[in-house]
Amino acid sequence: MSRVLQIRRGTTAQNDNFTGLAGEITYDTTAKTIRVHDGQTLGGVALARADEIPDPSTEFDIDTVPDTKWAEIFARVAPTPITTQSSPLITILNARYIHYLFSGITTEPYNVRATLVAQTDAAGYASGDETGAFGIGTYSCPIFHTYIANDGFHVRLAIGEQTFWVAHKTSGVRTDIANDEWKLKITIYC
């Protein structure tokens, strides 16, 4: 006498409301498919039948994907847009530090960036040109001290009464600048 193995079976609705044991297999009598269970997922995972699998020899045409599908995918996986906010142009002073407050910002930005904006033609730059290739004293990467308080996001740039310099636009050579030739701009990325 032959032996017969019979597995649990039920309609799609019954399978949708069943959580099988880890490794258990059930049969969906409505959809004519097998479901595999992990002991946690309600309804398990339905396996595709051979007639539901696209023919691999058929070329995929991306233009056949409806716009609603693309919108659903982008809404699920696209990053949140990044916004920027910049300070007005700040006068460079030989002081211990320059401080700027971004009022109303209550969360830590992703990034803080400082640039110098030429006010006159200097060091190979034209008036209005902007550069991030600058330093203060012996430092080529100015360090920000930032913190959030009730009034917003504070950015403090340590200067230590040292001289600002830029990398010459064409030669790259360190060029000390006159404070009135340049202004500082601080940009935050939220």
User: From edge to edge, which strands make up the β-sheet containing 25-28?
Assistant: 8-10, 25-28, 33-36, 45-46
For 187, what's the count of Cα atoms within 13 Å in the CB-facing half-sphere?
12
Encoded tokens for 88: 């007005």
pLDDT score, position 28: 94
> Mean pLDDT for each consecutive 10-residue tract of the chain (190 residues)?
86 94 94 94 90 75 81 80 91 89 90 92 94 87 87 90 90 90 93
pLDDT score, position 59: 72
CATH number of the CATH domain containing 16: 2.10.10.30
Residues 116, 179 within the same domain = yes
pLDDT score, position 127: 95
Look-up of token digits 């360190």: 174
Residues 44, 89 within the same domain = no
Is the entire prediction scored with pTM above 0.85?
no
Residues 33, 120 within the same domain = no
In the three-class reduction of DSSP (H, G, I as helix; E, B as strand; rest coil), residue 80 is classed as: coil
Residues 44, 92 within the same domain = no
